[in-house]
Amino acid sequence: MIRPLIAAAVLTGWARPLPAQISRLDARLQPNTAHDVRALVDSARAAGLPEEPLVLKALEGQSKGASGDRIVVAVRALLQSLRTAQTSLGLQASPEELVAGSAALRAGAPETALASVRHDRGGSVAITLSVLADLVGSGIPVGTATKAILTLVHQNVSDREFLQLRTRVEQDIRTGMAPGSALERRLAGIPAAGPPRQP
């Protein structure tokens, strides 16, 4: 009888934040900032979104000497991107997928790209979206990176091949190659693993 009540409380956001999160926020943030961040964390929990990235964002801001207001703004922006990722990926999306989707969105990927990856790729899309975010972070224009990722999704390449692509593109960039050229070169080396998936 108790377990269903606890589960219901957690799902409805009624339960209090985990003690570890409270102690970390209270120990590192000003009281007003910690209060505001806790409210955002509560919102995330109520929506079924991962809370830990929000706590870490607040701690990152504190470590980097950001003001309380700026920390709250950053946490709120991250929460919004997690919400958007959830809208694009679906309520069944895992925390890892939501974090990767949020990173891709914040890198500049359009919401439609997330929805397409979810629709066209079987299994978890965490690696796919993480690689998309990383490619953009490496300097590849977001449109080019998004198009490349969607092409590979349609070719049904594996997660390992996505990670290898990212690693090799980074290697080429470190040797002085332009990011776009590095991606183009490495894409040519990936054979299709299977028949294209039908959208």
Binding site for another protein (CB under 8 A): 24, 53, 56-57, 59-64, 66, 70, 73-74, 77-78, 94, 96, 99-100, 103, 106-107, 124, 126-127, 130, 133-139, 163, 166, 170, 174
**Nearest approach, Cβ of 37 to another protein (angstroms)?**
13
CA dihedral 157, 85, 183, 173 (to 10 degrees): -130
Nearer to another protein, 101 or 116 (CB): 101
Nearer to another protein, 114 or 133 (CB): 133
**Nearest approach, Cβ of 197 to another protein (angstroms)?**
21
**Nearest approach, Cβ of 12 to another protein (angstroms)?**
26
Nearer to another protein, 92 or 198 (CB): 92
Is residue 180 packed enough to be buried (19+ CB in 10 Å), middle (13-18) or exposed (0-12)? middle
- How far is the C-alpha of 127 from the C-alpha of 74, rounded, in Å? 24
Q: Please state, in angstroms and as integers, the Cα–Cα distance from residue 196 to each residue in 32, 95, 114, 152, following that order.
A: 53, 27, 18, 9
**Nearest approach, Cβ of 164 to another protein (angstroms)?**
11
Q: Give the up-direction half-sphere exposure of residue 59: CA atoms within 13 A in the CB hemisphere.
A: 14
Nearer to another protein, 115 or 163 (CB): 163
Query: By the 8 A CB rule, do 150 and 121 touch?
Result: no
**Nearest approach, Cβ of 3 to another protein (angstroms)?**
25
- How far is the C-alpha of 99 from the C-alpha of 93, rounded, in Å? 10
Nearer to another protein, 33 or 62 (CB): 62
- How long, in residues, is the chain? 199
